[in-house]
Amino acid sequence: MKQAATKVLTAHVPLPLAEKVDQMAARLERSRGWIMKQALSTWIAQEEERDRLTQEALADVDAGLVIDPLAVQAWADSLGTDQPLPLPR
């Protein structure tokens, strides 16, 4: 199996965070590098998903697929009452 090319990245992190990484590495019996790759991969995936959802929402706005903010406020105000309004669409 061919190993992917790598690049060394360095970052200064606060000592408490570095200590937590070391503790996690010891607990999981993994290297510090493995922990850092997992954390970075997870963060990047979250940010990519956030960007995808933002682009999707902006496309909805451009297409006029929006909900009247007054309808949303009326719905929110009705929550917890005896007769909550249906979710605005």
Nearest to 10 by CA among 33, 34, 29: 33
For residues 21 and 38, give the distance between their C-alpha atoms in angstroms, rounded to a whole number: 11
pLDDT of 2 > 90? The answer is: no
Alpha carbons 67 and 19: distance in angstroms, whole number: 47
Q: Which pLDDT does position 3 carry in this prediction?
A: 86
Q: How many CB atoms lie within 10 A of CB 36?
A: 15
Say which range, 1-10, 35-44, 48-57, 80-89, has the weakest mean pLDDT.
1-10
Q: Does the predicted TM-score (pTM) go above 0.85?
A: no
- Assess whether pLDDT exceeds 90 at residue 69: yes
